């Protein structure tokens, strides 16, 4: 069986255009990590079921382990590295730190990207909306309670606190 040859593709990630050499069916996750050196999105299940590899495509959360890089040409990809900087954290990043929402931290980039997308469309989510939005994100350490509090904090829903 002969594989598809690598071709030059242009993708936009975190506001910057990148020319990458990859086969069209290469998962976006591999290009992000191996070609662009963006390591926040993690390989979890490889089936799009755990959420660890979540990034945004034109503001919508996608599972980068199952999206071929050829399908993101002409769109804007945002990774956790593009949400905020060390000097100017995104509200979701500040909230996760304040709530100490990470234990091992492996799932946290995907959780933050899912949370940021939720807050973009639903600025004041209910607990049920948060639960529904995170139904496809797995955390094996059991910090779901803190993750929910972080989302509430980022939305300004934790009494007396702000992100």
Q: Which of 82, 116, 138 is the last residue of a domain?
A: 82
pTM for the model = 0.91
Q: Which of 23, 51, 82 is the last residue of a domain?
A: 82
18 plus 72 within the same structural domain: yes
CATH number (domain holding residue 105): 1.10.150.120
Q: What is the pLDDT of residue 16?
A: 97
| Average pLDDT value for residue range 110-122 | 96
Going through the chain in order, the beta strands assigned E by DSSP cover: 7-13, 16-22, 54-57, 60-63, 76-78
70 plus 120 within the same structural domain: no
CATH number (domain holding residue 78): 3.10.20.30
Q: What is the pLDDT of residue 158?
A: 60
Whether the predicted pLDDT of 103 surpasses 80 = yes
- Split into its structural domains, the chain has a count of 2
| Average pLDDT value for residue range 44-72 | 96
Pick from 107, 5, 6, 97: nearest CA to 63 = 107
15 plus 71 within the same structural domain: yes
* Structural domain harbouring 71: 7-82
Residue 1 lies in a domain: no
Residue 50 lies in a domain: yes
Residue 163 lies in a domain: no
Q: Which of 62, 82, 102 is the last residue of a domain?
A: 82
Q: What is the pLDDT of residue 37?
A: 97
Whether the predicted pLDDT of 159 surpasses 80 = no
Residue 15 lies in a domain: yes
Q: What is the pLDDT of residue 142?
A: 84
129 plus 64 within the same structural domain: no
Over residues 4-57, the pLDDT tens digits come to 788 889 999 999 999 999 999 999 999 999 999 999 999 999 999 999 999 999
**Distance separating alpha carbons of residues 52 and 42, to the nearest angstrom:** 5
């Amino acid at each position: 069986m002969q594989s598809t040859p690598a071709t030059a593709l242009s993708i936009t990630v975190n506001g910057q255009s990148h020319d990458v050499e990859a086969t069209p069916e290469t998962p976006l996750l591999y290009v992000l990590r191996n070609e662009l050196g963006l390591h926040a999105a993690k390989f979890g299940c490889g089936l799009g079921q755990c959420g660890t590899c979540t990034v945004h495509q034109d503001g919508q959360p996608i599972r980068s382990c199952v999206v071929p890089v050829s399908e993101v040409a002409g769109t804007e990809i945002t990774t956790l590295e593009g949400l905020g900087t060390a000097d100017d954290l995104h509200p979701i990043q500040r909230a996760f730190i304040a709530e100490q929402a990470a234990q091992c931290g492996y799932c946290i980039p995907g959780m933050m990207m899912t949370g940021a997308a939720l807050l973009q469309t639903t600025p004041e989510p209910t607990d049920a909306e948060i639960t529904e939005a995170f139904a496809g994100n797995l955390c094996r350490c059991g910090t779901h309670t803190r993750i929910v509090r972080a989302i509430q904090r980022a939305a300004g829903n934790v009494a007396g606190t702000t992100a």
